[in-house]
């Protein structure tokens, strides 16, 4: 199966604590799906078999806010865990732009206004331990990633990711 993922990626200073948190989830729950991709905010999916929609084909992309902040408590959404954004106005605008271009929420995990943590949390009771401190993300890139996986259920076990486009938003 081949899919295109449209997402915001995090700058290096924000990636490091998220990767450390992923490592703690791996140690506590043996979740590896969050480690199969770089830390990102998923915006939408498109099937690769049809016409490819490049970032350059999108209408004018709005400039990001000065800072995109996260909250400390991870949330579960459709059996996946995310570190939610304090304000979803910007990502909602981008998701709306992508939906107008036939990008959907049907993919390996749902788009959400937060940083993807794991797709393996469906049987986790209660809450995850909080993230140490909110992130203040001041620099983002909009990417289009080509993702190839052999299976739908345990996609993180057999996944190849190629970043097809990377646009610095400022």
- CATH number of the domain enclosing 123: 3.90.1140.10
Task: Please tell me the distance from the alpha carbon of residue 149 to that of residue 158, in angstroms, as a whole number.
Answer: 5
Q: What is the mean pLDDT of each run of 10 residues along the chain (170 residues)?
A: 89 88 83 84 81 76 78 85 88 78 76 89 68 82 89 80 89
* Total-model pTM: 0.89
Q: Tens digits of per-residue pLDDT, 115-145?
A: 999 887 666 656 677 887 788 888 889 999 9
Q: Residue 56 — φ and ψ, nearest 5°?
A: -65, -25
- CA max distance for the chain: 43
| Distance in Å from the first CA to the final CA of the chain | 33
Q: Note the pLDDT of residue 122.
A: 63
Q: What domain range includes position 73?
A: 2-169
The total of structural domains in the chain comes to 1
Task: Please tell me the distance from the alpha carbon of residue 166 to that of residue 99, in angstroms, as a whole number.
Answer: 19
């Amino acid at each position: 199966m081949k899919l295109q993922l449209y997402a915001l990626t995090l700058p290096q200073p924000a990636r490091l604590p998220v990767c450390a948190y992923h490592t703690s989830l791996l140690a506590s729950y043996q979740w590896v799906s969050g480690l199969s991709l770089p830390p990102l905010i998923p915006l939408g999916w498109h099937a690769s078999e049809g016409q490819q929609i490049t970032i350059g084909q999108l209408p004018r992309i709005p400039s990001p806010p000065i800072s995109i902040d996260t909250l400390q408590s991870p949330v579960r959404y459709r059996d996946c865990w995310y570190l939610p954004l304090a304000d979803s106005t910007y990502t909602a605008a981008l998701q709306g732009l992508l939906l107008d271009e036939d990008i959907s929420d049907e993919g390996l995990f749902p788009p959400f206004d937060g940083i993807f943590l794991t797709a393996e949390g469906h049987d986790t009771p209660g809450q995850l331990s909080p993230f140490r401190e909110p992130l203040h993300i001041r620099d983002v890139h909009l990417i289009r990633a080509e993702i190839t996986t052999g299976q739908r259920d345990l996609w993180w076990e057999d996944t190849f990711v190629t970043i097809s486009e990377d646009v610095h938003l400022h």
